[in-house]
Amino acid sequence: MIQKQKYETRRPKEKEMLFGLRAVIEAIDAGKVIDKILLRRDMNSAIGKELLSKLERTTTPVQRVPVERLNQFTDKNHQGVIAFLSPIDFYRVEDIVQAAFDEGRAPLLMVLDGVTDMRNFGAIARTCACVSADALIIGARGSVSINGDAVKTSAGALHTLPVCKVENMQNCLRYLRDSGLSVVAATEHTDKIYTSTDMTLPLAIVVGNEEKGIYEENLKLCTDRVKLPMTGTIESLNVSVAAGVMLYEAVRQRNMINQ
């Protein structure tokens, strides 16, 4: 006997969701910030096609799922679509970088390449806020969802820290590099120790997925690679710890030249 797939998920508060085809279409038209949309896999109605047409002109991630998954989130008539509202606004990377240069500062950015654990994301966001990083950059797909739990995990840091959600991470890294930033990857695929790179320059620090690290295509676009020394039997640090070490090394170096 074939068992149906089970879906286990936290049911978000209703204020974090919109459901129903017309309600979601109106939210898109009104410019609401939507983190992601779940759409019934066999959706083929006329109004469903209208929604898909609108979504093609946005960067909102859309997942086609069986109706059983949608039913996990609400008992009401969702009509085959649920939109998860973002509790924060997103910023353009270009605006963040330009603002820092206009103020005569070397920007400090943290780039998360595929970080999916909400606790890691929240911890990194909090550290970014503590060191006054200019922004946290994530991908529109393959990254953690920013919801009320993410804000809580960050201890409220996401209310003050600019977050940029980019559709194409490789294009983002190219833009940062072409704008004069040093794009430094924290990776074990190097012999260079993190303290030996100049972090007083305009800087974007890149850390990767909890299991796979930085994706190879993105790693190739980084201008420098550094590692944190490991002398024990464990092969790698938790990504939020590694991000914190890198950020505070940048702070240390920048404080040294300002003394």
Co-location of 23 and 116 in the same domain? no
Same domain for 37 and 120: no
Which of 50, 85, 120 corresponds to the end of one domain?
A: 85
CA torsion sign for 174, 175, 179, 180 is: negative
Q: What is the mean pLDDT of residues 159-168?
A: 93
Tell me, yes or no, whether 133 and 27 share the same domain.
Answer: no
pLDDT digit string, tens, across residues 25-54: 999 998 888 888 999 998 888 998 899 899
**Average pLDDT for the chain:** 89
Q: What is the pLDDT of residue 31?
A: 85
Picking from 206, 178, 205, the residue whose alpha carbon sits closest to that of residue 108 is 205
Domain boundary among 58, 85, 112: 85
**What pLDDT sits at residue 34?**
87
Q: How many CB atoms lie within 10 A of CB 217?
A: 11
CA distances from 79 to 9, 43, 74, 83, 137 (A): 20, 9, 11, 12, 33
Tell me the per-residue pLDDT of 224-234, one tens digit each, with 9 for 90 and over. Answer: 999 999 887 77
Question: Same structural domain for residues 107 and 52?
Answer: no
* Amino acid found at 8: E
Q: In this structure, are 74 and 188 located in the same domain? A: no
Tell me which of 34-38, 132-136, 202-206 is least confident: 34-38
- Distance separating alpha carbons of residues 259 and 13, to the nearest angstrom: 49
SS3 185: strand
**Rounded alpha-carbon distances, angstroms, from residue 58 to 33, 34, 70, 204, 245:** 11, 10, 22, 26, 35
Q: Which range of residues forms the domain containing residue 127?
A: 93-258
State the pLDDT at residue 164: 95
pLDDT in tens, 52-109: 899 888 878 888 999 999 999 888 899 999 998 888 889 999 999 999 999 999 999 9
Nearest-5° Cα angle at 37, 35 to 41: 160
Side-chain half-sphere exposure of 94, counting CA atoms within 13 A: 3
Q: Which of 85, 119, 138 is the last residue of a domain?
A: 85
186 domain residue, yes or no: yes
| Listed range (25-34, 110-119, 177-186) with the worst mean pLDDT | 25-34
pLDDT top residue among 55 and 193: 193
CATH number reported for the structural domain that contains residue 99 in this entry = 3.40.1280.10
pLDDT tens per residue across span 115-131: 999 999 999 999 999 99
What pLDDT is attached to residue 7?
Answer: 35
28 located within any domain: yes
Cα-atom radius of gyration of the chain, to the nearest Å? 20
Same domain, residue pair 43 and 120: no
Q: Is 19 helix (H, G, I), strand (E, B) or coil?
A: strand
Report the number of distinct structural domains present in the chain: 2
CA distance 230 to 214: 18
Q: Is residue 33 part of a domain?
A: yes
pLDDT attached to residue 13: 57
3-class secondary structure, 225: strand
**What stretches of the chain adopt beta strand conformation (E)?**
17-19, 34-40, 62-65, 81-85, 108-113, 135-139, 163-166, 182-186, 203-208, 224-226
Is 8 part of any domain? Answer: no
Closest CA relative to residue 131, chosen from 218, 203, 187, 192: 203
Whether 154 is covered by a domain: the verdict is yes
